[in-house]
Amino acid sequence: MTVGVAREVTAGERRVALVPSSLKPLLSLGITVVVERGAGTDAFASDADYEAAGATIGSRAEALGADVVVCVHAPDESDISQLKASGVLIGFLRPLEAPGRAADLAARGVTALAMELVPRISRAQSMDALSAMASLAGYKAVLLAAEQLPRFFPLLTTAAGTVRPANVTVLGAGVAGLQAIATARRLGARVWGYDIRDAVREEVQSLGARFVELALDIGDMEDDAGYARALMDAKARQQASLLVPHLSKSDVVITTAQIPGRSAPLLITEEAIQAMRSGSVVVDLAAPTGGNCALTRADTTVIAHAVTILGPTNLPASMPADASYLYARTIAAMIREFAQSGQFEAAFDDDIFKSACITHGGRVVNERVLQRLSA
């Protein structure tokens, strides 16, 4: 069996799907790894590094023609046409946001597994690429905020006077949010965390942050997969309104609230931005799905009412070495899980495979993707 690693061509993407250190467990299974020339350069992995680890350096066509092709971003139409008709594709394929791509993969006869659909169960933790990337994004979001904020994060006492620590609020306490809380705390800020799931209160507090209490009756807001449910429109508007007084006291707000397959919930209204102190900063990690802030623009710095609003859409790519290392481990774990016999086996009786697989046998097989296609 061959595994192909093609160079990423999406603008701004510097990650690579496998790094040299991730190859050993695959090679031990008798797998041959073909890496497109220069695929790892932006992630500081040279062709020589791959060859030293046991990979073969080849052309793009050779990498895309492998039995199993691994990627960070879904291939475009021209690359899909080069995939092996009976082959396997594994990566972040965005099937809920771009279901048409899934239809193209099905037409090609490819078995495609979307890493973002890996279920949040104990056995799948080693394949949880979303969480790995979210942790990087939460960390980097705080550093971006600290760079933009015209104030210190920590308490600073000098002969000239004392500077009070910055107030940081993190909206959404999933993996990215919790990492943002931990990073802001390490930088010395006073931190608050908010989430509609009351179950994460203890996690927020365990990191030394305070939990934002809102007079909002929302019940159990965590779904079976561990994600937040969407609020009804009236409750969502009430939530945004109740957040305004708290956000007005914040120097930095990091937003991370996203709902798989849906537009990001609106948490910060323009009213809230107007209420914030001049020089305050918002970093909206939900920018790829519309943003949690009403004024967010993807990959653009917006200054409104003297508040800086950042909408980064791919922070992990700004740390390509570690991001690639972590992502490669999840990809390698997925391959090992379903290629024990030396061939990649479709296993629809397995919860991980069934959840992640979007196309097989010339058809779109994932119900959520089918719903998107028929909408």
Position 140 scores a pLDDT of 98
**100-138 CB burial, b ≥16 within 10 A, e <16:** ebbbbbbebbbbbbbbbbbbeeeebeebbbbbbbbbbbb
Position 230 scores a pLDDT of 61
Q: Which among 79, 104, 128, 251 is annotated as catalytic?
A: 128
Contact at 8 Å (CB) between 215 and 242? Answer: yes
Position 235 scores a pLDDT of 86
The count of other CB atoms within 10 Å of the CB of residue 151 is 17
Position 35 scores a pLDDT of 98
Position 224 scores a pLDDT of 55
Average pLDDT score, the chain = 94
Q: How far apart are CA 34 and CA 61, in angstroms?
A: 10
Residue 221: pLDDT over 70? no
Q: Which among 37, 94, 120, 185 is annotated as catalytic?
A: 120
pTM above 0.85, yes or no: yes
Position 184 scores a pLDDT of 98
Residue 218: pLDDT over 90? no
Position 10 scores a pLDDT of 95
Set out the domains of the chain in order of their start, with CATH numbers: 2-117+320-366 (3.40.50.720), 135-317 (3.40.50.720)
Q: What count of residues does the chain have?
A: 375
Q: Which among 47, 148, 151, 227 is annotated as catalytic?
A: 227
In 3D space, the residue among 139, 145, 114, 110 whose CA is nearest the CA of residue 129 turns out to be 114
To the query of whether residue 227 is one of the catalytic residues in this protein, the response is yes
Position 259 scores a pLDDT of 86
| Amino acid letter, 162 | T
Position 276 scores a pLDDT of 98
Q: Which among 59, 86, 125, 274 is annotated as catalytic?
A: 125
Q: Which among 46, 82, 126, 131 is annotated as catalytic?
A: 131
CA angle 329, 334, 338 (to 5 degrees): 145
To the query of whether residue 325 is one of the catalytic residues in this protein, the response is no
pLDDT tens digit sequence for 35-44: 999 999 999 9
To the query of whether residue 120 is one of the catalytic residues in this protein, the response is yes
Q: How far apart are CA 139 and CA 130, in angstroms?
A: 14
To the query of whether residue 128 is one of the catalytic residues in this protein, the response is yes
In 3D space, the residue among 189, 246, 191 whose CA is nearest the CA of residue 214 turns out to be 246
